[in-house]
Chains A and B, each alone.
Chain A
């Protein structure tokens, strides 16, 4: 009897999760319908207009989609050399030594830095540096946002890559060393091919993570509703536009923001499921 109650409770809690997801989807879809009806779905995602003047309101998402893709890809590209180097250092070159332990603990702490602290550091410390280097408009822009996002990725992807390096069988590495291979050759020809798919999956996860990042990006990207023409331009991402344009004065604009949220939801969900599918196929 008691067992049945417990099993029903477990099942019900799983259903609650399903209901939560249904609730989120319901809110996003029902709120975004007016915007899609007014502009048309393809018109909405291919238009770069963002006009809030009453009577001639015109909203489109293309500039924000571009902004999101640019910032997150750029952040990933910037972060890869650093995170890969760090994970070589911790996972291969210094593995088992004290210094690897300290760097690893330090990175674990860094992974917990809240985005808002990264944001204010970007605003007060990184921006003056970029101004003196003459990058971006007063230090704001896609590039600045990408640097902050890459700082978010580095601790995360380093710690994941390091755990993957531990998966490479010692036997393989040792036999390569005994044949006279150098460190570089072992890493290049044994370790990396062995964990390549895991590394890619980890970085896809990281991509999904930074695409939805809101607060740090809002503080540094410049919040301009135009399509950026080069990477040092100011812009806006899907997530940041929701936050800094959030107001309830105009119903159509409110609905347009939900349409943007729906797009962001779909993009991040697809990326997450893709990464999960990749990891599942590799590890299990």
Chain B
């Protein structure tokens, strides 16, 4: 189960993570709906691009720009949060959406928790795989913590001062 478009839905994608003895070049990518690490995509693209359905995920130290010319090839792009306190994934998502114009599913994976999901959603994520030990229905509530925001981001191109008329009386 994941959260997608603010709803809990079934999910049959499998996230491939490299084991200690795996290398991007030699790891066997199972058949079916697989989200592969960026490095595996880069190493095995000749065979992988023949697949009907493929996903890719970026680590927090990797760059959105590395997918610049391949965005249309994936049914899902995921960004991994190794720890919830690692905030690089927010900028990766922002770049994918705003700079590179990616419009497909953008999924947060890894240490994904309710209390960060509002920001994740703003930065461009529309799908969330909350950590397995957490109640996904509880996590869903995190997406509605705020009903108004000050600044622009991937979800909202205009800052508040351009969105609304702010006429407080001094």
Q: Do A and B come from one complex?
A: no
User: A residues engaging B (CB < 8 A)?
Assistant: none
